[in-house]
Chain A
Amino acid sequence: MARFVLRRLGSAVLVLFAVSILTFLIFEVIPNGNPALRLAGRTATPANIAAVERIYGFNKPVYVQYVRTMEQIFTGKIVSYATGVNVISQLKQALPVTASLVLGAAVLWLFFGIVLGLLAGLHAGSTIDTGISALNFLGISAPSFVIGYVLIYVFSFKLHVFPSSGYVGLADPLGWAYHLAMPWVSLAILYTGIYSQVLRASVVDTLNEDFVRTARAKGLSHRQVTLHHVLRTSLIPVVSLSGLDIAAVLGGSAIIIEVVFDLPGIGYYASQSIGALDVPPVLVITLFGAFAVVIFSTIADVVYGLLDPRIRVAGSR
């Protein structure tokens, strides 16, 4: 197990290296990508720009710039070209917001995804199944900004039960949950649909397995067969999926939700930085996202092994 985790972390280094180079190069080739243009200000003369390029080292070869930037990232000294604020400290402020968002949403989507998926799978072909599938596809295909704004319209502007925006720290747990309730629901609606569909398919497959027939032939109650044999085995794909999805949201993929609800999280930070073509934060956020994906998929694989002993053996070899 320890060797497996170490090997995964080793490969993470390679992934991060590749991601950093790609992200860096993208900003080299996009038009108007030269940060000196923005740093020098709106009325800069060519001489001003040249001076900025010299000071920041933009006139040096790409690999020198890359090495210098990475050095700044790992020493924590990297600052935004657009605002001059330290990127790492910004990220540290944004992380709890995004973590809160993903945590609550994941609890919701896992709970409802599992309940609905199990129900639909157990009653495959029935009206219940059709109804749940219809809801799922509605959730999957409704853009999250539409869901978000509909929630804001109904619950903030009409009913005045939930605040439309803002984030309150965990120091005030009630205020925290109160402000996050609608973002949680908006984000969870999409993933509930996906998880419910995945689990449904998995349950339908599992129900045809011989061991489910054995479980019934053993005289187990319907409840025992369903929970201990069908659900337990069907959950395996859901676990690996949730590792990746939680990581993706942590890495900033909830951009739209964070913008709609004005949550100063990582996605919000990323969207602002990309808008300003601000290389350092984008680079740091991308690296952070990639790192989160590696970490969470490793966790998912370990849990996967706990759920499925056949994988465990393969993993420890």
Chain B
Amino acid sequence: MTALLAVEHLQVEFRTEEGVLRAVDDVSFELQRGELLGIVGESGSGKSVTAMTIMGLTRGPNASFSGRAVLGDLDLVTASERQLERVRGGRVAMIFQDPMTALNPVHRVGDQIVEQIRAHQSENRRAAMDRAVDLLDRVGIPRAKERARSYPHEFSGGMRQRVMIAMALSCSPEILIADEPTTALDVTTQAQILAEIGTLRKELGVGVLLITHDLGVIADVADRVVVMYAGQVVEQGSLSDIFYDPRHPYTWGLLGSVPRLDADRPERLPTIPGTPPSLLRRPTGCRFAPRCAWRFEACSRPPALKSDDPETDEHTGRCWLDLDVARERRVVGGTLGLPVDDRTTAGGGAANP
């Protein structure tokens, strides 16, 4: 089966006053029809830049790109602005983190949806408005016909995110990119929005790229997971691979940092010590090494993203540790985690600010 979207060796650099910042470094993944692919990572891991680049929204005088992001027969990295306009909102739709600011405050929500429909399809205003009302109704906005005439500030955060989803769906996209769609919402609303996205995927066969820093969200809805760190993919695999057989110490740390309701309450919530490296001055070897309790000599050279398991190449990790060693070390106090390492706080590029 050919992938809906194939990102191949994508690299994104921005020229800044302090030097060239490589925000995305050799990122590759595929998204299948009807699949929900989660991209996880801390702030600054390059996950949003990856998504924005697929939409062609990172272009600018200071940005340079290499690699490909192939949608059907179109490479989105090199596509013309005209081609991208047709893709954006048409074949690939995007919803953003903060529904409070993502809608234009001075236009009615119905009009904002109509605007998108009419940008892609030659439909008259009235027919487009009828579609907009149907969409609002479908994403669970009560009294949709009336509410289409409301302004964004007259909606709650959750309702606004539903409006965003309705807007994203308006042109029946093949791919939905959701960049932290629930981060700004409370937990109940978050669950509703995720359920909504899940339904759409099943009913419409839309491929979803869900970007989040919240593993809890990923665990609920994703089929496959890409873990990003400092602009690179450090681990990639199915949901169960990542949650039950993680290869990379960073993934262990992420999993270990998820607060658990079913375990004894620890004295402190476990965290990964240190901060991600500056993208201007990346460590030469493994980028996670300065924060990793398990680092050894090999880590001064950059590890490749590879599968250590002869049975499958679907699950890959970017770590020098042997698979059986890794499987042993990732268990801390009976659960998955990354031990705190005294060297970390003293160590190089990842010292706490």
Contact = CB atoms under 8 A, between A and B. Distances in A.
B85 A219 contact: yes
Closest 5 CB pairs of A and B: A219-B89, A219-B88, A218-B89, A210-B101, A211-B104
Interface string A287-311: 0000000000000000000011110
Contacts of B154: 313
Given A228-B115, A310-B151, A217 B105 contact: no
B23 interface: no
A162 B66 CA distance: 60
A233 B119 contact: no
A229 B115 CA distance: 11
Interface string B35-68: 0000000000000000000010100000000000
A228 B118 CA distance: 14
A308 B153 CA distance: 11
B324 to A, nearest CB: 45
Interface string A211-225: 101111111111010
Interface string B86-113: 1111100110101001111111000000
Given A213-B96, A220-B85, A307 B106 contact: yes
A232 B94 contact: no
B167 interface: yes
A310 B100 CA distance: 13
A211 B105 contact: yes
Nearest to B86: A219
B131 interface: no
Contacts of B105: 211, 233, 308-310
B120 interface: yes
B116 interface: yes
Contacts of B81: 222
B104 A216 contact: no
B106 to A, nearest CB: 6
A71 interface: no
Given A224-B119, A233-B106, A309-B151, A217 B101 contact: no
Give the residue among A213, A217, A307, A310 with the most B Cβ atoms within 10 A: A217
A203 to B, nearest CB: 15
Given A224-B119, A232-B106, A309-B151, A217 B90 contact: no
B315 to A, nearest CB: 32
A217 B88 contact: yes
A174 to B, nearest CB: 40
Contact of A218 (B88, B106, B151): B88
B260 to A, nearest CB: 34
Given A210-B102, A211-B104, A232-B106, A217 B55 contact: yes
B103 A211 contact: yes
Interface of B: 55, 57, 81, 85-90, 93-94, 96, 98, 101-107, 115-116, 119-120, 151, 153-154, 164, 167, 171
A28 interface: no
A64 B274 CA distance: 79
A275 to B, nearest CB: 48
Contacts of A310: 105, 151, 153
A282 B88 CA distance: 62
Contacts of B107: 228, 232
Given A218-B88, A309-B106, 4 more contacts: A218-B116, A219-B89, A220-B116, A309-B105
A205 interface: no
Contacts of A308: 105-106
A262 interface: no
Contacts of A219: 85-90, 116, 119-120, 171
Nearest to A125: B61
Given A217-B55, A309-B153, A211 B94 contact: no
25 contacts: A210-B96, A211-B101, A211-B102, A211-B105, A213-B57, A214-B104, A214-B164, A215-B104, A216-B88, A217-B55, A217-B94, A218-B88, A218-B89, A218-B116, A220-B115, A220-B119, A224-B115, A224-B119, A228-B115, A229-B104, A232-B107, A309-B105, A309-B106, A309-B153, A310-B151
A256 to B, nearest CB: 38
Nearest to A228: B115
Contacts of A210: 96, 98, 101-102
Given A233-B104, A309-B106, A214 B96 contact: yes
Contact of B102 (A214, A228, A233): A214
Contacts of B90: 219
A220 to B, nearest CB: 5
A229 to B, nearest CB: 6
Interface string A222-258: 1010001100110000000000000000000000000
B122 to A, nearest CB: 14
Give the residue among B101, B104, B105, B116 with the most A Cβ atoms within 10 A: B104
A209 B107 CA distance: 14
Given A210-B96, A309-B153, A310-B153, A218 B103 contact: no
Contacts of A218: 88-89, 115-116, 119, 167
Given A210-B96, A210-B98, A310-B151, A217 B103 contact: no
Contacts of B101: 209-211
A214 B103 contact: yes
A215 B101 CA distance: 12
Contacts of B89: 217-220
A270 to B, nearest CB: 39
A232 B85 CA distance: 21
A225 B125 CA distance: 18
Nearest to B111: A228
Nearest to A312: B151
Nearest to A206: B104
A307 B85 CA distance: 27
Nearest to A219: B89
A222 B59 CA distance: 13
Interface in A182-221: 209-211, 213-221
B81 to A, nearest CB: 8
B123 to A, nearest CB: 14
A218 to B, nearest CB: 4
